[in-house]
Chains A and B, each alone.
Chain A
Amino acid sequence: MNTQMVRTTVYLPADLVALAKMNALSTGNTLTGLVKEGLEEKLEIKPKRKKKMVLKTYKLGNPNYVFRRADAYE
Chain B
Amino acid sequence: MFSDGQMRMNKKNEWVGIDTNILVYFLNEESVYHTKAKVFIDRLQRGEIKGIVSWQNLSELYAIVTDSKRFPRPMTTKQAIEVTKQFLGNGSVNIIVPVANTKEIFFNLVLAIKPKAQQIHDIFLASTLRPLHFGHLKQSQYPIISY
B97 CB contacts on chain A under 8 angstroms? 22
Residues on B facing A (Cβ under 8 Å):
20-21, 24-34, 41, 44-45, 47, 59-60, 63-65, 67, 69-75, 79, 82-83, 86-97, 99, 117-119, 121-122, 125, 131-133, 141-142
CA distance A52 to B131 in the complex (A): 29
- The binding surface of chain A is classed by DSSP as loop
- Chain A contact residue count (CB 8 A cutoff): 32
A63 CB contacts on chain B under 8 angstroms? 28, 30-32
Residues on A facing B (Cβ under 8 Å):
15, 18-19, 22-23, 26-27, 50-74
B56 CB, nearest partner CB in chain A, Å:
9
Q: Is the CB of A60 within 8 A of B71?
A: yes
